[in-house]
Amino acid sequence: MLDKEELKKIFQLKGETRGVVFQTDAQYILMKEGEDGLKELEKRAAELGFKIPYRTVKPLDWEPIGLRIISLLLIQDTFGWPDSKIREMGYFAPNVSFIIKLLMKYFVSIEKTIKNAPRYWVQHHTVGELIVDKADQKQKEIVIRMKAPEFHPIFYTYLEGYYERVARFTNSNMVCQHSKTTIDGELFHIYKIKW
């Protein structure tokens, strides 16, 4: 059960994200739950005092990053999905994302994809950054570190699936795993990609 007050706090998180994430969310809901599912989702959002622009948003519009996290929480709550399902939703998002289409020129090789990973983050968010800590093709491992304010855990779960999908555009055997680490007293979210 979602806490309205907590959601308000989340909504007030600093930073913005591209509108395309609401489009990919909506498309996935339509695929999985149909039109009624999407309507139910919109209704729940309205009941909680949020208007999430699933149908009207433009892919390159900037929307509050808190609203993006609320959308994920609402979806999980409305349809009773486990985290794995949210991860799956993230996994499939690049398949239909407009912005990914703009970035496809980078998905021509593992090297190029890794090299342009920070660019991906900047393209999608106004806060935080993505840092490639390791890219070792011999060991078949890539480590990406996300330097950003702390968001809701569901957001990182979603990104785990998302990054795995993007990584697989160059190698279908790649698997992404999210973890957290503290360096010099600062918390970082780590995404380790192996194949």
Partner 1 sequence: MVKIKKENKTEKLLKENLRELTSYIGDFWDFIPMPIILVNPLNIILSISKSFERMSGYNAYEIVGESLTKVIADKNLVEDLRKEIAKKEEILNQEALFLAKGGEEIKVNLSAKKRRDEKGDFIGYFLTIVDISEIKALQESLEKKIEERTRELEEAKSSLEIKVRARTREIKELADNLENKVKEKTVGLVQSKEALINILEDVDEERKIAEEERKKTMAIIENFSDGLLVFDEENRLSLINPQAEDFFNVKAKDLIGKSVLELSIFPALKPLTKILGKTIRGVFREELPIEEKLTLEVSTVTLKREQKKIGTLVILHDVTREKIVERMKTEFVSLAAHQLRTPLSAIKWTLRMLLDGDLGVITKEQREFVEKSYNSNERMISLINDLLDITRIEEGRFLYKPVLTGIESIVQFVVDSYQEEVEKRKLKLEFKKPQEKLPRVMLDIEKMRLVIQNLLDNAVKYTPSGGRVTICLKSGKKKIEISVKDTGVGVPKDQQERVFTKFFRGANVMRMETEGTGLGLFISKNIIEAHGGKIWFESGKGEGTIFYFTIPVPEEAGENF
- Contacts to partner 1 by CB under 8 A: 28, 31, 58-60, 92, 94-96, 98, 100-101, 104-105, 107-109, 165, 168-172
Q: What's the CA gap between 188 and 77, in Å, rounded?
A: 27
Closer residue to partner 1, CB minimum distance, 53 or 59: 59
Q: What minimum distance in Å lies between the beta carbon of 170 and partner 1?
A: 6
Please report, for residues 46, 57, 135, 194, the alpha-carbon distance to residue 138 in angstroms, rounded to integers and kept in the order given: 51, 42, 9, 11
Q: What minimum distance in Å lies between the beta carbon of 186 and partner 1?
A: 32
Closer residue to partner 1, CB minimum distance, 104 or 183: 104
Q: What's the CA gap between 1 and 34, in Å, rounded?
A: 23
Q: What minimum distance in Å lies between the beta carbon of 96 and partner 1?
A: 5
59 Cβ contact partners less than 8 Å away, ≥ 6 residues apart? 18, 19, 20, 23, 97, 98, 99
Instruction: Decide: 175 and 192 in contact? Cβ < 8 Å.
Output: no
Q: What minimum distance in Å lies between the beta carbon of 128 and partner 1?
A: 21
Closer residue to partner 1, CB minimum distance, 165 or 189: 165
Closer residue to partner 1, CB minimum distance, 66 or 94: 94
3-class DSSP state of 14: coil
Closer residue to partner 1, CB minimum distance, 59 or 128: 59
Tell me, what amino acid is at 124? H
Closer residue to partner 1, CB minimum distance, 54 or 151: 54
Report the alpha-carbon angle 10-121-114, nearest 5: 140
Q: What minimum distance in Å lies between the beta carbon of 57 and partner 1?
A: 11
Sign of the C-alpha dihedral computed for residues 123, 129, 133 and 139 taken in this order: negative
Q: What minimum distance in Å lies between the beta carbon of 171 and partner 1?
A: 8
> Which H/E stretch holds residue 10?
helix 4-11
